[in-house]
Amino acid sequence: MNLAQGVQIVSFGLLTLMVIGASLGVVLLPNVVYAAFLLGGVFISMAGLYLLLNADFVAAAQVLIYVGAVNVLILFAIMLVNKREDFLPLKRGWIRKAATGMVCAGLFALLSTMVLTTSWNFSTGAIAGNDSIIVIAKHFFTDFLLPFELASVLLLMALVGAIILARREFIPEETDMPARDAALTLPERPRELMSVSSSSEFNR
């Protein structure tokens, strides 16, 4: 065993410990803010694992998307509604916890049998190394074109949905609307015409 291999094994062990420890913290800590910060730790350690697998682009994308965007948005949401209230202990709360624990244990058993029974084929191709972006791009535009395009359509849909949700203007004083009309709609101010609203914005 040479120096490089030793470093790899030690860092693999450390990263695994970090992933397991941090994710247990995410699930078990009662403080939501701690859990959110630890989630960032989980994502970063996963990026480290990807790096050990020679997948540098995946690792960087993991950090950029999950830590830089998803986790920051989660933290943002938590801090904007920063109420710091103590949750009341639920009556028979242990039933929920036991059920959750059982579901998790079942999932773990299922996944580990899957991991153990699958015969993994290791790729025999050369390691892409610094050219990994080029290899990934070739795959995206040849044999994985359809999933790639579908993912982008999905993102576009999410984008449009977010804009529609954000443009909705609630009117809190008129909440006592007739219930049968409003059963499936959210209370909403009548939308102005596009040209009128945009010109009034310029005038402000």
Binding site for other proteins (CB under 8 A): 2-4, 33, 37, 40, 44, 56-57, 60-61, 63-64, 67-69, 71-73, 75-76, 79-80, 82, 129-133
If the CB atoms of residues 72 and 103 are measured against other proteins, the closer one turns out to be: 72
- Cα–Cα distance between 132 and 125 in angstroms, integer? 13
Which amino acid, 159? Answer: L
- What is the nearest approach in angstroms of other proteins to the Cβ of residue 68? 3
Count other C-beta atoms under 10 Å from residue 10's C-beta. 10
Least spacing, CB of residue 51 vs other proteins, in Å:
11
Cα distance between residue 171 and residue 107, in whole Å: 44
Nearest to 62 by CA among 84, 83, 81, 39: 39
Minimum separation from the CB atom of position 185 to other proteins (A): 28
d(CA 40, CA 28): 15
Which one, 26 or 75, has the nearer CB to other proteins?
75
A 10 A CB-CB count for 44 gives 19
Q: String of b and e for 48-70 (b: at least 16 CB within 10 Å)? A: bbbbeeebbebbeebbeebbeee
Which one, 60 or 187, has the nearer CB to other proteins? 60
Minimum distance from CB of 32 to other proteins (Å)?
Answer: 11
Q: Which is nearer to other proteins, 85 or 173 (CB)?
A: 85
- Of 21 and 187, which has the nearer Cβ to other proteins? 21
Per-residue b or e along 30-43, where b marks 16 or more CB atoms closer than 10 Å to that residue's CB: eebeebbbbbbbbb
Nearest approach in angstroms of CB 152 to other proteins is 15
Find out whether 35 and 25 touch, Cβ atoms under 8 Å. yes
Q: CB 2 → other proteins: shortest distance, Å?
A: 6
User: Given the complex with other proteins, which of 12 and 60 has the nearer CB atom?
Assistant: 60
